[in-house]
Structure 1
Amino acid sequence: MSDLKAWPYQAAQDAIDKVERETASGQRKREAVLFETGYGPSGLPHIGTFAEVARTTWVRYAYEQMTGKSAQLFAFSDDMDGLRAVPDNIPNTEMLQKHLGKPLCEIPDPFGEEESFSGYMNAKLRRFLDHFGFDYEFKSSKDQYRGGVFNHGLLRILEKYDDVRGIILPTLGQKRDDEGDKSAWSPFMPVCTNCGKVYTTRVEEVYPADGELTYSCSNGFDFKGIQVPACGHRERIPVTDGRVKVGWKVDWALRWYVFGVDFEMYGKDLIESANLSSEIVKVLGGEPPAGFFYEMFLDENGQKISKSKGNGLEIDEWLKYGPLESLSWFIYQNPIKAKKLYFDMIPKSVDDYLSDREKFGQESEDRVNNPIFFLEQPAIRRGESVQYSAGVSYSMLLNLVNVLNTDDSEIVWDYILRYAPSADSDRKTIDDMIDRALQFYRDFIVPTKVYEVPEDEAALEALGALVAALRNPEIQGAEALQSATYSAGKEAGMKLGVWFATMYKLLLGQERGPRLGTFIDLYGKEETLRLLEEKLGPEKWAKVSA
């Protein structure tokens, strides 16, 4: 086998090293290797959710390829988290405002479909992950806290209370509450038994020997002018069975410690949190998971995509114009680099995905480093072919649809089969691309088309040379036609960038376009001549065709 160079192998190696360290020290808690991905159910699952689960899954595939052993994936929902703010894209906002500060699992479903707000979001998450074929085991925070799964971890945090505080306190700002006293911070967030809120409570005393603490509900807060009051209740309670939860950084550490997580990804903005959680796990007596940070997706304004804001390009929007695999290809590339999600990234991503499929079919040993090895792993494991050999690109189809100006896929197919008769073997893939290309053309290309007929003599001279070349029966095939197009512009003294832009504006109504030799070969020499005659008009056509 060739060297395993792709980034998922590098990430998987860190998980392998972690497992080996635990095994050698006798600290290994579980036999199966565990990957985890987390979800905050305060908003709807979106493209960032898909990306995190997909990337984690690819590292899982890499681990299994490297070790020959299977691994598990937990998809964890923190539905005990309190509602801090009302998402912009959720109905019944007035009702939700009345429940600010309460755990998401205790807030009514604003959509009226499930037993709670988080119940709706969790159901959406599971349908979302199932729809895209992910192999995972769902875990909810509510079930782990209230079912006692986290009890021994919570008691351990209480036992190491001062040590945990010693890790977090130096990282806090000076104002952590309405008294401006960060020393009041506690890893525990009791759920008030009187008003049900989690963000209004304050820990006053802890009793590690008894597994209990005393809290007061005395920390009201303001949300955009809405007062979220504390009820004033005070009580001594056990830290077990869902009576408390822990704050974000500690909650991450709690999961890692109790589950024995071996690998987890996180966004670049959570690197500090991951480092602090790792320190807490060590204090508790566990080994933190191998980590891998990724950069964020940005919307068209360069802002981070947010579940609560509902901004950015969504999966359904991408899938209107490109197959899911093209989105996966886009996400796979260089995860530590921030990516802006624009609609015009879709054609290139589809073409690059298809190009990698072509390479995958031609490669032998190095195919394990091809993105297709990860993107198509389920199909590969089923023994299905993932090769693509039609030689027909999405960009090519867009330009063909542009010139044909048709919604009839059969007309498009007539041209394709004349150019590449073997394309019929990939009919399903190409049919799908044609449908999406037609939609992309209608929505994004038609509104921006501006045709320009050249006026300068150099351009008309170059067009005359090209017309002569197209009439020459000896000039056949994409390479020869590309060479002829190139020579026509060069011999007329035109800068090649200007010459090709002139052709694109004349034929397609765009400033950029396909490799002209390939396009002419696909569209046909006679058809290209007729198109030139139509676009130039009688007077200029007579001049260039003389």
Structure 2
Amino acid sequence: MSELPEELKAWPYREAQKIVERDEKKPASDDSGDKPTLFETGFGPSGLPHIGTFAEVARTTWVRKAYEHLTGRPTRLVAFSDDLDGLRKVPQNVPNQELVASHLGKPLCDIPDPYGEEDSFSGYMNARLRGFLDSFGFEYDFVSSSQQYRSGVFNPGLTRILECYDEVRQVITPTLSKDKREDWSPFFPICRQCGKVYTTRITAVNPEAGTVSYACDKSFRGIESCGNHDTVPVTDGNVKVGWKVDWAMRWYVLGVDYEMYGKDLIESATLSSKIVRVLGGEPPAGMFYELFLDENGAKISKSVGSGLTIDEWLQYGTLESLSWFIFQNPVKAKKLHFDVIPRSTDDHLQARHNFGLTDDENDRLNNPITFIEYDKLDAGEAVGFESDLTYSMILNLVSVLNTDDKDIIWDYLRRYDAHSKDDEAIIDDMIERAGRYYRDFIVPTKEYELPGDEMMPSLEQLREFLVNYQGSDPEELQSATYSAGKDHGVALGKWFRAMYRMLIGQDRGPRLGTFIHLYGVKETVALIDERIAQKKAQQAP
């Protein structure tokens, strides 16, 4: 069995290697031939696409690119919308809630669009999903559950489930409470009378005829049943199968080779893998990823509309900075809040800087930039970042200047970094986003604090050094700042916090040597003098 080359260490290569090993285990009689290797990502259209949707498609795309690099084989990515699923509750963030509530229990594709723009509830959500993915340049094929069921594509899988009815039940029923085991069925008929899917229960299974009988008399979360009894074929969209069975059938019929899923679906993936083997198929390779959490540590929800949205992120950070955040350690839970944007932006630009510096192919292949900016690299664009400027530095400069005027900020930046002209477009965009971040998140929390009496000897020593300093070395400036606190026995944590509170009105900030270099030695002296004068004015009788 082939092994992953030792020099390829980025996680998408490890995931791609799982598919390679799965390919090698296929029997010689396998007729997949030159069919593209199929990657799938799923979407439940009960709510609008969100940052988690982007993350799953992005991560799957990165594994797809790694697989193409390893094998040279053609690939295909399917974005699958489970729009035959029944609506269990009304999402909080949609209009016309009474209209939607009157159709609870029906498949999403059979509920009117509350926005009045498409032919159904899921039609609107599916259109938003496609527009969402298109806006980020993803390459994918959209597939809807309703189309697959009602056009007959899933008929072979549905027939096979009916043939293996008892074996499928044996996979699921041990996981259910005793009172639910007897009535459980993989099939949920869509009632011919009321159109609901979760109020029906199977009363008879007829494998020879290819049909099931049902009664629409089941209570489900307060959704009313109509009492209808009927017999329907399991094919052509007359029934839907429950989630875990549906996932397995999808893998079986479509021949999915790779799919990742959230940590909350680990048990479902395990059971679906058992079911697809019962049907005679093989589960795809895949991985679970940890979930994004909102500012309170709760899972983000598209139906409630919680969590940081992509549109909100893009107000303050680039798409590439978001991709950087998502790329890092996908099996670790991450809180999505505004504070992570500056650090993610800086880390992305540092990776870009490193990418542009090296000609070593392995260094580039393992750099996240290979995946995050694959579209630019595929187009032959040069990807790098020469400047030493960071988002955090610009934020702090904006803060001390107390302005987001681009011309003023650029005057300081050009004096600080000779390479700023080479990366002018990136830096100009960063100034724009940093200005918004400053207005929205820093201004409301700024609280200047004049230095206490115990800090004055240290402050006066630093001022004297700066008045006489003729150089422009950030390290020398940092050393002088450090010594000013240490020489007078001030706890360094308190000393640096006092400096930050005095200069920029925040508890934390950049390395002070870097800040003084950026802001200017003379300008820093003037700022210190201004604060000392304010202190003396406060102490005057």
**Structure 2 length as normaliser, TM-score?**
0.96
> Is 1:60 equivalent to 2:43 in the alignment?
no
Q: CA deviation digits over 1:357-377, x for unaligned, max 9?
A: 111112322111111111001
Aligned residue number for residue 96 of structure 2: 92
Aligned residue number for residue 400 of structure 1: 397
Where do 1:221-240 residues align within 5 Å?
221-223=220-222, 228-240=223-235
Aligned residue number for residue 535 of structure 1: 531
Name the SS for the 1:230 alignment partner. coil
Aligned residue number for residue 135 of structure 2: 131
Q: What is the aligned-residue RMSD (CA, Å)?
A: 1.6
Contact 2:38-2:77 at 8 Å conserved across structures: yes
Name the SS for the 1:197 alignment partner. coil
Q: CA deviation digits over 1:477-500, x for unaligned, max 9?
A: 111111111111111211211111
Contact 2:450-2:535 at 8 Å conserved across structures: no
Separation in structure 2 between the aligned mates of residue 447 and residue 539 of structure 1, nearest angstrom: 23
Q: CA deviation digits over 1:157-177, x for unaligned, max 9?
A: 11111100010000112343x
Contact 2:88-2:221 at 8 Å conserved across structures: no
- The structure 2 residue matched to 1:79, chosen from 74, 78, 83, is 83
Higher mean Cα deviation, 490-499 or 189-198?
A: 490-499
Q: CA deviation digits over 1:126-175, x for unaligned, max 9?
A: 00000111110000001100111101111111111110001000011234
Name the SS for the 2:423 alignment partner. helix
Shift of the alpha carbon at 1:24? 4.2
Where do 1:373-388 residues align within 5 Å?
373-388=370-385
Separation in structure 1 between the aligned mates of residue 283 and residue 236 of structure 2, nearest angstrom: 24
Equivalent residue letter for 2:382:
S
Contact 1:30-1:260 at 8 Å conserved across structures: no
Shift of the alpha carbon at 1:220? 2.9
Separation in structure 2 between the aligned mates of residue 334 and residue 259 of structure 1, nearest angstrom: 30
Aligned residue number for residue 430 of structure 1: 427
Q: CA deviation digits over 1:224-247, x for unaligned, max 9?
A: xxxx22112111211111111110
CA separation of 1:166/1:27 partners in 2, compared to 1, >3 Å: closer, same or farther? farther
Aligned residue number for residue 301 of structure 1: 296
Name the SS for the 1:263 alignment partner. coil
Moved over 3 A (4+): 27-30, 538-541
Aligned residue number for residue 508 of structure 1: 504
Equivalent residue letter for 2:429:
D
Contact 1:19-1:28 at 8 Å conserved across structures: no
Gaps of 5+ in 1: 177-181
Equivalent residue letter for 1:353:
H
Shift of the alpha carbon at 1:221? 2.6
CA separation of 1:513/1:278 partners in 2, compared to 1, >3 Å: closer, same or farther? same
Contact 1:469-1:475 at 8 Å conserved across structures: no
CA separation of 1:498/1:255 partners in 2, compared to 1, >3 Å: closer, same or farther? same
Contact 1:449-1:510 at 8 Å conserved across structures: yes
CA separation of 1:123/1:165 partners in 2, compared to 1, >3 Å: closer, same or farther? same
Where do 1:102-501 residues align within 5 Å?
102-176=106-180, 182-223=181-222, 228-363=223-358, 364=360, 365-457=362-454, 459-501=455-497
Equivalent residue letter for 1:435:
E
Name the SS for the 1:391 alignment partner. coil
Name the SS for the 2:505 alignment partner. coil
CA separation of 1:36/1:388 partners in 2, compared to 1, >3 Å: closer, same or farther? same
Contact 2:205-2:211 at 8 Å conserved across structures: yes
CA separation of 1:27/1:167 partners in 2, compared to 1, >3 Å: closer, same or farther? farther
Name the SS for the 2:77 alignment partner. strand
Contact 1:37-1:52 at 8 Å conserved across structures: yes
Q: CA deviation digits over 1:68-118, x for unaligned, max 9?
A: 223110000000000111111111111111111100000000011000000
- The structure 1 residue matched to 2:520, chosen from 521, 524, 530, is 524
CA separation of 1:500/1:80 partners in 2, compared to 1, >3 Å: closer, same or farther? same
Shift of the alpha carbon at 1:40? 0.3
Aligned residues: 532
> Is 1:101 equivalent to 2:77 in the alignment?
no
- The structure 1 residue matched to 2:44, chosen from 20, 29, 40, is 40
Shift of the alpha carbon at 1:23? 4.9
Contact 1:481-1:520 at 8 Å conserved across structures: yes
CA separation of 1:25/1:498 partners in 2, compared to 1, >3 Å: closer, same or farther? farther
Shift of the alpha carbon at 1:538? 6.2
Percent identity of equivalent pairs:
61
Aligned residue number for residue 179 of structure 1: none
Separation in structure 2 between the aligned mates of residue 467 and residue 475 of structure 1, nearest angstrom: 15
Separation in structure 1 between the aligned mates of residue 104 and residue 534 of structure 2, nearest angstrom: 71
